[in-house]
Structure formats: C-alpha cells, structure tokens
Amino acid sequence: MGIKCPKCKTDNPDTVKFCGECGTQLPSPEGIAVTETLETPIKELTRGTTFANRYEIIEELGKGGMGRVYRVEDTKLKQEIALKLIKPEIASDKKTIERFRNELKIARNIRHKNVCGMFDLGETEGAHFITMEYIRGEDLKSFIHRSGQLAIGTAVRVAKQVCEGLSEAHRLGVVHRDLKPQNVMIDKEGNARIMDFGIARSLEAKGITGAGVMIGTPEYMSPEQVEAKETDQRSDIYSLGVILYEMVTGRVPFEGDTPFTIGMKHKGETPLNPKEVNSQIPEDLSRVILRCLEKDKEKRYQSAGEVRSELENIEKGIPTTERIVPERKPLTSKEITVTIGLKKIFIPIFVIIALAIIAVVIWQILPQKKEAPPLSGEISLAVLPFDDLSPGKDHEYLCDGIAVTLINALNGIKDLHIPAKTSSFSFKDQNLTVQEIGQRLNVKTVLEGTVQVAGDRLRITAWLSNVDDGYQLWSESYDKNFEEVFSVQDDIAQKIADALKIELLGEKKAQIITHYTYDPAAYELYTRGYFFLDKRGKSNIEKAVEYFDKAIEKDSNYALAHLGLAESYVNLGDWGYLPSVEAYPKAREAANRALEIDNSLSEAYCVLAMVKYIFDWDWEKAEELFKLSISLKPNYSVAHKEYGLYLTKLMRFDEAHKELKKAQELDPVSLVVLSQATWPYYHSGNYVEAIKQLKQVLEMDPDFGPAQSYLAYCYFWSGMFDEASELNQKLGNEGGLAGCYAKMGRIGEAKEIINRLSSSQDINPRDLAGFYFTIGENDQGFYWLERGFENRDYDSYSLTFLKIYEAFDNVRSDPRFKAMMKKVGLDK
C-alpha cells in the first residue's frame, strides 16, 4: 500500500516518512487521508456570531498548522479568552483528539507567569476546539521581524523567562515539542508567555503519539524530532537554542526550500557561530546557544534551569544601558557556509592597514549622506501610517487620517519632537525595521497601528515601540462602532503620553486632541480629502476639494475641512492648475472661515501668509502671518519651509537657512524639503554647496523631478552648460534647454524653441523675459516682463522671484526693472 503526497500527489512506498519528489512529510499509513471535504471548516466564524452557544467571536487572531485562533468572549464567565478551532482533517483522527485530551489534563496544571493558561477541549456540531487564556500583546516572531534582531540584553531577558516557563512544565512532565517564536507571546507588561502547551506530549503518557509521526515546525525542530524518535525536555532546549539564535542574529540557523531540506540540516549540518553573524554577541552567549544546538542530546544542557543559570551569569556582564542594535553583516539566511582556511585568516597586517587607508581616502572623496539633524529635545516619536487590514483594502484614507490626527495632536506637546507626516509616511510599503526607521528619522520611539473596518464596526490596534531594542512600551486594541473613532483617538493619544511620561515626561498632564467634528460621516469625508490632497496632481487635488466640500455640507463648522479647502486651493494656484485670480481668493476665504471657527489654527495663518505675498504682494503682512503661524505651532514644518522660501526671495539668506534647517529637522526625509533647502545656496551664488546637497537628495531617489530641475538650474548658472542641457533634455524642459543653447552660442536653435513655446503658451512670461535678458535683447525681455505683470490674474507666483532670479541680473539698474520691483512690492 503506497502513500500519496498531500502536496505534489506523488505515490510513495509506505516505508518512507518524506516524499521522494518534494520532501514533504507524509501522513502515517494508518492516518486519515486529507480530502477537500475535510479541509472545509465546519462553519465560518465571523465577528459577532456565537460559537458553541457560548463564545461570541470578537476577531480572528491568526491561523496555523492546527487551525484558526479567535479572540472570543465567554458569555457565561463574561471573560475574553482565546479559542483555537482545530482543522477538520486533524480533528477527524480520534487518536489525535484523544492525545490532545490527555495532554490537556496535565497542561492545565501548569500555572506559571510565563505560561499561557490552557482551559479545555470542547466539541460542537462535529467541530473540536481548545480554549485558553487570551494574552494581549505581540508574538515573538513579529517582535523579531520588526526589530531585525534584538538587543543582547532584551534577548537574554526573554530567553530567561522562557526558561522559567519551561522549567515548570518539565517539572510536571510536559514537553512542548513545538516551541517557536510564534508560540511565545510578549504581553503588555513585557513578559514572555509560552503558548500551546495543549498539544505537548506528556512524558508519562507513553504511546499516545503514533510511531513515526513528526510533530513540530521544521526550522525549530530537534534532530530527534526530525527522525521521529523519542523526545524529552532536551528537545525543547534545542528549540530554545534556535529561538535564541534568531533573536540575536535576526535569522534561524537552518533554512531550506522544503521541510525535508531543513530537517536534514538539523540532523547533519553544523550551525554557523552566531557571533559570525553579529559580532556584538558575547562569546559566552554564543557558547550557550551552540551547546543548546548540539545534535547529540546528551551533550546539550539537560534542563531549562541550567540554561537559565547560564543566562543569569551572562546578564550580569551586560551594561544595563546597552540597547544599541549592531548593524548586521551582509549575510543572507540562505547563504552557504564556507570553511575558511588558516592562510586566509592570518592576513598580513600591512594589507589590512593599506585597505584601511584606501577606505578612508574613498570615504573622504565620495559625497556623504547627511545624518538627520540633532533633536532639539530628548523626547521623540514618529507616527507611521496605519496598515489597512479591511477585507477590501479600501480604507487607506482612514488609516492615514487617524495617523495624521495623532501627529497633529501630539505635535502640541511641548518638548516632544515628532517628524512631519511627509517624512514618517515616506516609509509606507517599505519593509523596514523599527530600528531603521528610527535611525533615519532620528527618533527614540515609533507608533504603529492597524485599522480594520467591517460594516459599521471599526477595529484599531496600536503599539508604541522603543527604537533601540524594538521593545513595546504600550499596545492596545479597540473594537468599536465607527462613530467611536474619536474616543479611540483620544485614548491612543493619552496612552502614548502616559507611556512617554513614565519614561520621560515626569508629571506632565495635558488634554491632547481637539476634535473639530463629532460627525463620523464628515470625518470620513475629510480623511478622504486629505488622502487625495497628499497625492498631489491636478485631478487628485480636485477630488480633495470635492470631499472637503462634502464634509462641510455635513458639518458647516468643521474647521479642518475648511482648512483642507484652503490648502487645496493654494496648491492649485502654486502649480498653475487654476488661475491665480480664482485659486488664491478661494484659499483666503476658506482659511478665514477656518479661523472664524478656531483662531488658533497655525496652518490657516500659514495659508494666509502665502496668499498675502504670492497674490497680494503684501510682503510685510505675509511675514507677520508666518511668524504668527510658527508661534502657535513651533513644530509645524510647512510654516518653517514656506517662511524660509519667502525669506530666500527677499535675499535674507542667513534667516532663510535657519528656517529651512528647522524644517529639515522636523521633516528629515522629505525630498521636497531637502531639495528646497538648497534655494538659499544657489540663489546666493553658492552653487557648489547646492549641487552637493541636490546630489545627496538624488541618491535617495534618482528620479525625483524637483531635485533634478534645481540641479539643472545650478549647472546652468555655474557655467556647466553641457551637464545642464543633458539634464534638461532628460526632464523635457525645453525652456531650460533653450537657455543652454543660447549660452553655448546656438542662438538660432534657442530662439526656435522659445518661439514655439511662447506661441503655445507652454512657458510663462517671466521665463521668456529671462531668456531675452540672458541673450541681451532687453527690450524684448521687458515686453514679456510687462506681459507677466498684466498676466498676474493667471500667474502671480512667478513674479515673486524677481529679486533673486539670476536672469535679471543684467537689467537690475534699468529704471524699467526698478519700476517693476515696486509694482510687485519688492522695492519700497
């Protein structure tokens, strides 16, 4: 009688345990065959339904090899617990169910702070399930994944707690046999809790597990488990060694494409010394890990208590302040182990010195990426966009909106440094660890979260992590009706403040969030509006306007919706998507309406400042408004950036540098801010520094258009016409290309381009004037400059550059130019 592989369907003789074709573990000959019928759940457990006439389903927590796990409310005991619904193909085997029942009798006796309590094995309508303690927190696997690798002190602390839980279980005669990071929860208090002892095998219950059946997860299995031999507590110690290895290196010792491949490595391959992966691991900790991973169980530690004692000794030598996660070597988890000969180890010392000298020279020559500027305070937090877990993945706008609300609210806490949304949202869809994000944003803590919307129900989970070691400072889940989104945000903000207070803020207390509406429909429309506004582009901003208008229809006193309209119209005017005469008055009207509702809105004053100098050309009033905006919200990066650009246009370069530096501190990875921070350099003639910084921006994103445009501008005015023309061709900037041709003596080609652009109105009058001034045709230049002034209803923005635009340098002493400067308010 043969055995069909459940994966590739290949027939195998009944004497083998693994498929000869794909390496998949085969079911035992006497085991029940897996069919499509058996793989179908007995019933779908959805939110709000009641299972077994007792357990109300709150949410699905996950799924694994045994089945799905749910958070439920025990309606009889009025208590939240976890319920694992066993897969039908497993539950159909009476021997398996009997084994679970016998093991649970002993597992229920384990009462320890580092073990999740097991309750009962139940059955209803043919479905079998296990109930257990529900633990709020995060499993260790996710913890490691977020952190990349744990700080040594954190890893040792977690491993010690696992040892304590194992010691108690082993004392009672229970071996886990499937110990892995997924089965270790880190609860809200930071304690490690071992899960799933309900499927462990009792040391005293001989014969329960059928011979030849392999139980466990391949990456964490002991060699004796791979061979389906008798196991005892030393098998758990091997698995603990794998977990320790993964915590301090970020990878497991053995990986492969199939369970068979991984199992063979556990049986016969020596693990790479973890210290070769992470040089910061203490020698004695590497020794402990490798002893846990001995193939021969007689050579391993014989009890979890022995391991704990070793870890205690190691912990005494770890500085209590050590939390820095070292940079990992570029070693992939699937890299082949190579044996290095002694000759390669003893490299002559002069070669090392020579290489070091070369490295230093190269480091000095190559452009260096700037670190984030130092923080002005000691307290720092980045709020990342929340992940959308909704079934349709169609609530990204709400995820972003909740995060933005928290950013804006927490920004009001004195001495709390929060990077702007532009920077924190730049990591969306990037698989970066908390450490990597924290280092790039120069913060000490990171807030993450998820949002799940199902009908009118809203589930939000948020957690606050320490950057140095990835350790969770706080986490919470909320299961509410949608209209309770405001109270959830309040609670998250307050809990964050409390968590930071414990660590940093002393006795500080403050009301954090100001809600501008309590209409859920208005709030949802508002978040949709900002979602599209952030996307930029004419069509997206027009959609944003529609949503903000609809939000105002729902709640006419919704100040933030009026503010969103104001910001949308300023963008439409700045980018030339709407005539100035239409865009800026609408922006002014919306900003003033927002201030009528709340006269403390910093953002609204910033909008009014931009309208004042861009459209009204009232530079003095604009400066008053910029200063007012910043005084109301010192950490508002946009106000610092826009004020810096305003100061640049007035040639107040030192002040501009100061404001733009502050904007960079608040928005450290915003490509827009980093690019525009070069304005004071190149408009003051320091093209070398401007080019250097723009190249650093393009290292971050080689295709970032604004940085490329500014770089082409710098090349042109520094006399690098070949480089400028090449870059303008790449960008499709024909106006810039015409200027290059003119400087290179190709006047005919330049004029041909300019004539075509001017007839099609694809170039603004200011740039046309600049072109003619550059080639010495001043009368023609002034003709177009006057046309630009007359055209202010369409484009008032371009003439705000009159004082700093290099193309006008040859005519600044001309009375006609002085008269134009007066018209624009730049020469009082």
Stated as kind and residue range, the H or E segment containing 449 is strand 445-454
Residues forming beta bridges with residue 86, ordered by sequence position: 67
Q: Which of 201, 244, 203 is nearest to 220 (CA)?
A: 244
* Long-range CB contact pairs, 386-390, < 8 A, 24+: 386/448, 386/449, 386/450, 386/451, 386/460, 386/462, 387/448, 387/449, 387/450, 387/451, 388/450, 388/451, 388/452, 389/450, 389/451, 389/452, 389/459, 390/451, 390/452, 390/453, 390/454
Q: Which of 613, 593, 615 is nearest to 604 (CA)?
A: 593
Q: Which of 30, 411, 456 is nearest to 212 (CA)?
A: 30
Residues forming beta bridges with residue 55, ordered by sequence position: 51, 74
Please give the positions annotated as active site: 178
Distance CA 495, CA 474 (A): 8
Beta strands in 393-442 (DSSP E): 416-417
CA pseudo-torsion sign 648, 716, 789, 757: negative
Contact 288, 314 (CB under 8 A): yes
Q: Which of 160, 333, 199 is nearest to 254 (CA)?
A: 333
Tokens of 429: 């869809």
Q: Which of 106, 115, 128 is nearest to 162 (CA)?
A: 115
Distance CA 745, CA 743 (A): 5
Contact 821, 802 (CB under 8 A): yes
Beta strands in 75-143 (DSSP E): 79-86, 118-124, 127-133, 137-139
Helix axes 520-535, 538-554, angle to 10 degrees: 170
Tokens of 191: 């304690």
Residues contacting 78, CB < 8 A, separation 6+ = none
Question: Residue 497 half-sphere exposure, CB side, CA atoms within 13 Å?
Answer: 22
SS3 451: strand
Distance CA 568, CA 542 (A): 8
CA pseudo-torsion sign 104, 109, 113, 118: positive
Residue 600, exposed/middle/buried by CB under 10 A (0-12, 13-18, 19+)? Answer: exposed
Contact 720, 688 (CB under 8 A): no
Q: Which of 402, 439, 412 is nearest to 423 (CA)?
A: 439
Contact 734, 742 (CB under 8 A): no
Residues forming beta bridges with residue 139, ordered by sequence position: 185
